[in-house]
A and B are shown apart, each in its own frame.
Chain A
Amino acid sequence: DAKTTQPPSMDCAEGRAANLPCNHSTISGNEYVYWYRQIHSQGPQYIIHGLKNNETNEMASLIITEDRKSSTLILPHATLRDTAVYYCIVTPLGNTGKLIFGQGTTLQVKP
């Protein structure tokens, strides 16, 4: 079973920031938080990952709380093309690539 909890769905207005929360209260010290998304049954797409520090790349920012029990993925200026299912996945350092996908959060970006 997935080690994370996410809201099943969220809406966001186009051009606004989308903040997607994730709860991972049982995370251990050697586990990363990864975010992937899946646009309409295409293959999952990597977004960002982090261990304990906040991270930013060209797609998004990842804010991890100090106790590491939750995190937030931020899409700074959501577009219609960001409509997708977003998955928060916790997996240990050096894992074999086995990702446990939950149901994720369906983000609907509206014009």
Chain B
Amino acid sequence: EPEVTQTPSHQVTQMGQEVILRCVPISNHLYFYWYRQILGQKVEFLVSFYNNEISEKSEIFDDQFSVERPDGSNFTLKIRSTKLEDSAMYFCASSVHVAGANVLTFGAGSRLTVL
């Protein structure tokens, strides 16, 4: 079964450092997403991306965050200057719309720890 692949599985960084989380979406999917989950809290939407631009973003997705699809296969989330509160599990997802329904396939996540 096709899957969304995320790297790294765990990253530890110092506060103020830049971090790039990488994702390889399912090959025929056209829509890409990042979500995050702080330990013990809900899964939260960050951003959706389609046709090489952001479709929608949440209030969490401020100027410190950016997304990019640098080539035909990767989708990245960059955090410019990490803060302690950015520590979370970050999930990438991709989807294809079928008859108005939008079914997301999530990756296993990248755990980010900011010290």
Instruction: Determine the interface band of chain B, counting residues with CB < 8 A from chain A.
Output: 20 to 34
Using A43-B107, A44-B43, A103-B42 as known contacts, say yes or no to A97 and B102 having CB atoms under 8 A apart.
yes
Cβ A94 vs Cβ B102 within 8 A: yes
A91 to B56, CA, bound (A): 14
Q: Which residues of A contact B107 (CB under 8 A)?
A: 43
A contacts with B: majority SS: loop
Total number of residue pairs linking A and B with CB closer than 8 Å: 65
B contacts with A: majority SS: strand
Q: Which residues between 70 and 115 of chain B lie within 8 Å of chain A, taking CB atoms?
A: 89, 91, 93, 95, 97, 100-109
A85 to B79, CA, bound (A): 28
Cβ A96 vs Cβ B56 within 8 A: yes
Q: Is B68 at the interface (CB under 8 A from chain A)?
A: no
Closest to B97 in A: A94
A36 to B105, CA, bound (A): 10
Cβ A100 vs Cβ B45 within 8 A: yes
Q: Which residues of A contact B103 (CB under 8 A)?
A: 34, 46, 49
Instruction: Give me the interface of B with A, judged by CB distance under 8 Å.
Output: 4, 31, 33, 35, 37, 42-45, 48, 50, 55-56, 58, 89, 91, 93, 95, 97, 100-109
Instruction: Give me the interface of A with B, judged by CB distance under 8 Å.
Output: 32, 34, 36, 38, 41-46, 49, 87, 91, 93-103
Since A43-B4, A93-B101, A94-B102 are in contact, a sample of 10 more A-B pairs with Cβ atoms closer than 8 Å, ordered by chain A residue number, is A32-B101, A43-B91, A43-B107, A44-B106, A46-B104, A97-B33, A97-B56, A98-B56, A99-B43, A101-B44
